[in-house]
Amino acid sequence: MKVDRLMNREDRLKVAAKIAELSDLPLSTQENLKSNYVALKIESGPYSNAICVHNNRVSFLIRSTDLLKKATEDRLNPEPAPRTVPMDEHKFLFWGLGMSDIQAHEALFREIVMESVRTIMDLRPKKK
């Protein structure tokens, strides 16, 4: 379900900052002005984007069917992202998600953020 509501740069940065507050581990923000998104990263390097805040959606990595069910029950309508790389099987898009949605469902988003962080850490290549 694509949504016409767009976030400007300031809104994207506010949403990214709020999401980062919900993490139990430090998330850094990296803004991509050319593509109009803010990546919330755990550490650095490949496989470090845990969450991305775009101008019309926020993407999270979610493996938990219980969390997806809760988000659907709360009418947040997560949609699977198109698969372009293997890790996309865990990527879900929340179209039109804004600050008010995150504040209204803060406990749920805290769980989703922690799930995204755990998922990206599990998907990262293990250092030898």
120: confidence class by pLDDT, cuts 50, 70, 90: very high
Q: What is the pLDDT of residue 94?
A: 95
Q: Residue 58 in 3-state DSSP?
A: strand
Q: Where are the alpha helices (DSSP H) in the chain?
A: 9-21, 65-73, 99-104, 106-123
Q: Which residue segments constitute the domains of the chain, with CATH numbers given?
A: 9-123 (3.90.1150.20)
Q: What is the pLDDT of residues 43-81, one digit of tens each?
A: 887 788 999 999 899 999 999 999 999 999 999 999 999
| φ, ψ of residue 12 in degrees (nearest 5) | -60, -45
**Mean predicted confidence (pLDDT) in 97-121:** 95
Taking alpha carbons only, the member of 62, 74, 58, 70 closest to residue 11 is 58
Q: Which band of pLDDT confidence, cut at 50, 70 and 90, is reported for residue 1?
A: very low
pLDDT > 90? residue 87: no
Burial of residue 48 (CB within 10 Å: 0-12, 13-18, 19+) is middle
